[in-house]
Amino acid sequence: MSQIKNANVLITGGAQGIGKLLGEKCLKEGAKCLIIWDINDKNIENTLSDFSRKGYQNVYAFNVDVSDSNDIERAATEVLLEIGNVDILVNNAGVVAGGMFWEHSAKDIDRVLQININGVLHTTRVFVKEMIKQKRGHIVNIASAAGIISNKRMSAYVASKWAVKGWSDSLRMELESLEGDLHVTTVCPSYINTGMFKGVKAPLLFPLLEPEDITDSIIRAIKINELFVLAPDLLKLIPFLKGVFPTRIFDFVADFLGVYSSMNDFEGRSRKEAMPDKKTKQTL
């Protein structure tokens, strides 16, 4: 059973959306300190101000570009020297590129893969060895339902989330082969009602997930060392149905339910909002 109380918790993309909400819930659970990595200074300032008004202390925020492995190593060195080992790491930062594959530029594709895959792997790489040394640690990787079922108009994103889901489960097996209290939870949610998926139309039987609900599920998963979080619950049927139905029949059903048209009116966040100018570290 992983303990959030008295733990050092680091959340990437932790200054907005479910990252911010997860951070607040970890503080409510009695986390020793919360470490926020985010690339948006305005969101960092707003989050620190909000947490301060609510009486939370020991919150540290770093402006980190997780698409840059050098920046990850710089910030990780600061965290390890100034704060100490990370007990719970939540790899939450991610971006979406909507549109048909041939509409993406090389920069679009590289950005999605560098943040969603490289950022997750390199962030984990710089902290996992200390977890192994202390024989304690929990890594939470926010993948996606897109790592279970493919979809149109999000092929680069799907590629990144299939990669994260597979890597995360491999990491789980590797850590479980070692001595100690080491855990990995892979989270695969459908569309969440945040700005990241602005404009999507939720498929039939798969309503938009509310941030409160999915973050409650993640907190619970950490506490009981749950291996996978699939939400909504019907998502758990997808691997079975894909294994039973011929591909064309599965495609017909998914299309009928509106899965394959769900991204037709996708807007998402603007690139400037997602990747603003980089600045500094801040502390509460």
Domains and CATH numbers, the chain: 8-283 (3.40.50.720)
pLDDT confidence of 195, banded at 50, 70, 90?
confident
Q: What is the pLDDT of residue 271?
A: 55
Question: In the predicted model, is pLDDT for residue 110 greater than 90?
Answer: yes
Residue 56 designated active-site? no
3-state secondary structure of 198: coil
With vertex at residue 250, the alpha carbon angle to CA 244 and CA 254, rounded to the nearest 5 degrees, is 135
Choice among 56, 60, 157, 260 that is catalytic: 157
For the segment 196-223, what is each residue's pLDDT rounded down to a tens digit?
A: 899 999 999 999 999 999 999 999 999 9
Q: What is the pLDDT of residue 139?
A: 98
Question: In the predicted model, is pLDDT for residue 54 greater than 70?
Answer: yes
In this structure, are residues 172 and 166 in contact, taking their beta carbons and an 8 Å threshold? no
115-119 contact pairs (CB < 8 A, 24+)? 115/66, 115/67, 116/157, 116/160, 116/161, 116/163, 116/164, 117/160, 117/163, 117/164, 117/167, 118/66, 118/67, 118/69, 119/12, 119/66, 119/67, 119/72, 119/91, 119/93
